Homo-oligomer: A and B are copies of this chain.
């Protein structure tokens, strides 16, 4: 399999007047094309920092990020970033929201628009194309946000707790939807989450980070050998509980 993202010895220190905060240390990771990788770790261990570095929004204090062998120096069209909240803009219709990325990249072509329409249709939002975000349910909004990322046609998707704003049942359903979309569109995904069950149910590999400064503590390959795997199906596999408990212990969750 082809390596699409390569992290070499990433280290990150935040500077502030009160001192230096070492957020990440010595992170080495390879992500393969089409793979779904999750990153879990204690609060404040540097997960978001890591995604920001991969996306090129933040320069690491040491180490390199390579995407398809090229060094990352700034935001790239190859990478799409999904944030915790959908951040659909109130003052834009769904269609206008979906086209935001293309507008910024100055590439709103008729074919790009058609692609946007195609995605909206495929994922059940075409009727809302000219509605405003306030008229959509939480799950629909999250889907619209994903489509906004997909229309710029990135190869790699970064998801930073993209589902944590949803309530539990909706979250389960959206997990299934988004997983489905990502697989259908053949994207590589790197997802950060607080939810161990979510990470296991969706990914091919779960990376556990240590407390700050975050380093890779362990890597869990998830292979439930399911046909037409979906997150919900994964949750019902007996092995699921074992993996869950194993990661739970590694994370050493405290109240």
Contact = CB atoms under 8 A, between A and B. Distances in A.
Interface in A8-46: 43
A123 to B, nearest CB: 10
B137 A173 contact: no
Contacts of A139: 254-255
A241 B236 CA distance: 7
A169 B196 contact: yes
A253 B196 contact: no
A91 interface: no
Given A236-B241, A241-B236, A255 B167 contact: no
A238 B237 CA distance: 11
Interface string A167-190: 111101110010000000000000
Contacts of A235: 241
Contacts of A251: 169
A236 B244 CA distance: 10
Give me the 5 closest cross-chain CB pairs, A-B, nearest first: A139-B255, A169-B253, A168-B195, A173-B255, A167-B194
Interface of A: 43, 137, 139-140, 143, 164, 167-170, 172-174, 177, 194-198, 235-236, 238, 241, 245, 248, 251, 253-255
